[in-house]
């Protein structure tokens, strides 16, 4: 039986700004996505009988609403027939953490199933399938660094320096993106804001000079631990720490010296999850 193994990267938002709300309930944004080498692993095997999903140590994720399952069902609908696969997802990326782990896993399932069965689905087909899973899911098919506009699905690749390391700190609890958008919506007044990310990128391409997140004040108010993490990272020598996406993960950028990254981690309480990562110039990778 055939098999495919995929590494599914997380992302950070180096820049995140909400421009306004839309009639369909979504929000127009401008964001700067950066893929990082904190990865889940998805193994898909051709099999006989009903399809299965195993998430070792995380049985609560073995549900039909998991984006990996939804990706399989979307492909089956496109080709008009059922597929038999066993899928094993090893989670390293925290869930509901602003790192896009679920979206990356779902996009990887689309890519992996197409590869496994050599399906006649184009890259654009996969992009549309990924968009059904989440606004940020198409980004993981591309990876690297990209401007995200619209609801995040209008992607423009950009070249940014990658000679830096990243410390990520997660408080160990999830944050609902829907809740944060709802809270932020209360502050939106008047017409939509003008986009400014592209203008900023013409003046400063160093990631450390781009950091901004509209959601950070709201999440820090609702979850004071996030503010504590930011202050602890700054005390550990991070010039400026930033929350990624809708949180609650906070990251800091360092030069590429690994000892400085590890030293920053040692100053953090054990109750917080911490990771060291590097930026990637690609997205989902297959072995």
Per-residue DSSP letter, 195: P
Q: What does residue 116 show for φ and ψ, rounded to 5 degrees?
A: -60, -40
Annotation marks residue 136 as catalytic: yes
Q: Which of 40, 105, 136, 214 is catalytic?
A: 136
Neighbours of 259 (CB within 10 A): 7
CA distances (Å), origin 169, targets 71, 102, 241, 252: 29, 18, 10, 9
Neighbours of 78 (CB within 10 A): 17
H-helix or E-strand containing 183? helix 177-185
Residue 103: half-sphere exposure toward Cβ, Cα within 13 Å? 28
CB 113 within 8 A of CB 73: no
Rg of the chain in Å (alpha carbons)? 19
Residue 71: half-sphere exposure toward Cβ, Cα within 13 Å? 30
Annotation marks residue 11 as catalytic: yes
Q: In the numeric block, which tokens belong to residue 57?
A: 């140590």
Q: Which of 11, 40, 91, 105 is catalytic?
A: 11
Neighbours of 57 (CB within 10 A): 7
Q: Which residues are catalytic?
A: 11, 136
């Amino acid at each position: 039986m055939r098999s495919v193994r995929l590494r599914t990267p997380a992302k950070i938002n180096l820049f995140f700004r909400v421009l306004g709300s839309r009639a369909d309930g979504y929000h127009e944004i401008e964001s700067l996505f950066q893929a990082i080498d904190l990865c889940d692993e998805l193994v898909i095997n051709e099999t006989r009988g009903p399809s299965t999903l195993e998430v070792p140590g995380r049985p609560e994720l073995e549900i039909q609403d998991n984006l990996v399952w939804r990706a399989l069902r979307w492909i089956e609908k496109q080709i008009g027939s059922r597929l038999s696969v066993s899928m094993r997802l090893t989670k390293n990326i925290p869930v509901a953490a602003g790192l896009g782990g679920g979206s990356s896993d779902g996009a990887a399932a689309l890519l992996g199933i197409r590869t496994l069965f050599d399906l006649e689905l184009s890259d654009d087909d996969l992009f549309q399938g990924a968009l059904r899973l989440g606004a940020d899911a198409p980004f993981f098919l591309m990876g690297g660094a990209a401007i995200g506009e619209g609801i995040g699905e209008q992607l423009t690749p950009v070249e940014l320096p990658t000679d830096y390391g990243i410390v990520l700190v997660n408080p160990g609890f999830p944050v609902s993106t829907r809740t944060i958008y709802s809270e932020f919506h209360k502050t939106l007044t008047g017409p939509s804001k003008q986009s400014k990310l592209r203008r900023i990128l013409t003046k400063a391409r160093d990631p450390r000079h781009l950091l901004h997140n509209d959601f950070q004040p709201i999440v820090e108010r609702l979850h004071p631990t996030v503010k504590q993490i930011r202050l602890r990272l700054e005390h550990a020598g991070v010039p400026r720490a930033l929350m990624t996406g809708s949180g609650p993960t906070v990251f800091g950028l360092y030069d590429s010296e690994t000892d400085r990254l590890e030293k920053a981690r040692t100053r953090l309480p054990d109750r917080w999850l911490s990771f060291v990562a590097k930026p990637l110039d690609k997205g989902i990778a297959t072995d």
